[in-house]
Amino acid sequence: MSLDGWNTLLVLGGIRSGKSEFAEALVADAVSVRYVATAAGGGDDDAEWAARIAAHRERRPETWSTEETADDPRRLADVIAHARPDETLLVDDLGGWVTVLLDPAHQPADDTVTVAELAAAVRDCPARLVLVSPEVGLSLVPTTPLGRAFTDALGAVNRAVADACDAVVLVVAGQPVRLKPAAPEHAPTAEPSPERSTATVNGTAVPAQAGPNDARPVDGVAALPASPPVTTPEAPAASAPVPAADDTGWTAPTMTLPVADTGLVIQPGMELPMPDDYAGPQAVERLATLDVPGTGLGVLEQVVSFAAATQGTPTPAPWQSVRVLLLHGDHDGGSAAGARAGESARRAEAARAGQGVLARLAAESGAGLQVVEAPTAAAIEHGPALTAEQVDAALRYGWRLAEEAVDAGVQLLVVAACGAGTEAAAAAVLAATAGAEAPAVLGRVITENGEIDDVAWMARCAAVRDALHRTRRASRDAKDVLAQLGGGDIAVATGILLGATARRTPVLLDGPVGVAAGLVSRDLAGQARHWCMLADHGGHPAVKLASDVLGLSPLAQLRLDLGEGANALTVLPLLRSALALAAALPPRPSHDTADAGDVDATDEPDPVEEDEPDFREPEPAGPGPTSTEPAEQGTRAG
């Protein structure tokens, strides 16, 4: 990562996060480095701590000098303040410094003044200075007074030093994240012109706003056109979302990031919108007040909560306009073992013609169906599934598909897939991102005659195993996973999830391609998974595991096996019914109102009998048992 322009830098990180190695790498090119060790040495009774210190010492180059401040923690500020401009200082670390500072041997002392002196020395330091410090604020509050004193003191030190430094970096699992100054927003690579803009890709001018019917190559991807929707009208050219007739949340502000216009680069760390934090719980609380004869909607309450959060209102409306995006992209090699040649293309053509299971379910639900052609993935056991250029193009294409759907007034997207080898590709992505084993997440291969094909299943497992072995030293960055293992359909689906998230539009998943895209999109923008809902895992082991990783609970367990997307469309009418009930049912009448309706305003209250016995508890008469029974008949108090 680039950290140009800094003179003083604070490196934060958890235990074993790699913060010290990162800090040492920053000053590795310096002619000489003065290493300031702050921690006290390990005694004879703490061999593990002594081993840690020894490992740090052995890692330092011979040209570095070491200075220790454990005997007097106040001397650290003097060392920094008196450093020469041509020096490079590495202080490792402030956690050890705070430990020594809180030692009873150095008390009583004004620790606040000592911290202020350190911050002032850092701010005015003329030398190049790197400080390392543990970040303990993300852990649980310690249960001991000494532990709480340490975390409170170190938190105050980190804040003061971070404020004084030019730059601050947080290292998590060996990956540095810049906190200060904030990472610059990615500038657009091309300015849009008043007319339809074009982008030059591999020497070819490509329309920047290619619609779903454009069949031009995009960034080296030979086939990324989408067929016209079966029942959904063509998306308009306007880039602004279509306003709804009523103010039910569909017109809430969206994060519109037109990829084709600005050349936005899809990469990790994207900041996309989150659903409303308050609307979901408010909707669930409102359900408890509705006039229903039973206990309510059961598990469908999470549907109401999800719809409320994504629509931004406690009374969400049923999704009226739904579009199914059927991704057709095959996977070569062992991933497609057991699949009949040409079967996926036949099903895609049937869907275009309005035939087949998915098309009929879409028609019954009043949903539009759009077939999307994704590039064929190469055999992952022999090499990358896609090139880096193809991955970028597929991500942008999926984003554009989501934007076009939202611009056409679509309120819910459904991801479906029909390619050969998709289950093995999804299993490979799941293994790379969640540490799954291929045999545990690959479902059995069933032939067209209903027989189990164990040979084909073993071939798929072997393909995933070989692909993971081939990429064992490769980066697990989201784009690299898509290029090495995922393929075109998963890459396009990832772009759809990101684009839908940017436009605040929910997505319904139910199969391996959708959940694999959810795992990858999580690493590009963590907000994406919060806009996804799982209709049913269908008994598929990969979908089960991925849903656990993503925190998605299936709404139904029908165990249908009609192809990815069919479960979602089967459940969709039930989801709409739940939302319609939640929106239309009146609140339960209160008991006071019901009782008041039975009372005649002209009725006189019944007279009170004067001879009614008084059931006050008698005073105890002395030792021995007492009774709270009423007095004998005819006996009166007073």
Q: Just list the catalytic residues.
A: 564
φ and ψ at residue 445, rounded to 5 degrees: -90, 120
Residue 409, helix vs strand vs coil: coil
Give the strand pairing for 88-92 and 198-201.
Answer: unpaired
Question: Which residue shows structure tokens 């609307």?
Answer: 279
Q: Which residues contact 269 (CB under 8 A, 6 or more apart)?
A: 183, 524, 525
Ordered DSSP codes for 419-443: -TTHHHHHHHHHHHHH---HHHHPP
155 is written with which tokens? 């938190």
In whole angstroms, give the CA distance from residue 88 to residue 234. Answer: 62
Residue 543 · residue 444 · CB < 8 Å: no
- Chain mean position to CA 369: 27
- Chain mean position to CA 632: 74
* Sign of the alpha-carbon dihedral angle for 400, 401, 405, 408: positive
For helices 566-584 and 301-311, the axis angle rounded to 10 degrees is 80
Q: Go through 259-276 and write b for each residue having 16 or more CB atoms within 10 A of its CB, e for each that does not.
A: bbbbbbebeeebebbebb
21 is written with which tokens? 């190695």
If we measure between CA atoms, which residue out of 288, 329, 555, 337 comes closest to residue 444?
337
561 is written with which tokens? 């096996």
Long-range residue pairs from 249-255, CB within 8 A, at least 24 positions apart, any chain: 249/279, 249/311, 249/312, 249/313, 249/316, 249/317, 250/311, 250/411, 252/311, 252/312, 252/504, 254/406, 254/502, 254/503, 254/504, 255/502, 255/503, 255/504
In whole angstroms, give the CA distance from residue 526 to residue 27. Answer: 32
Per DSSP, what are the bridge partners of residue 326? 371, 416
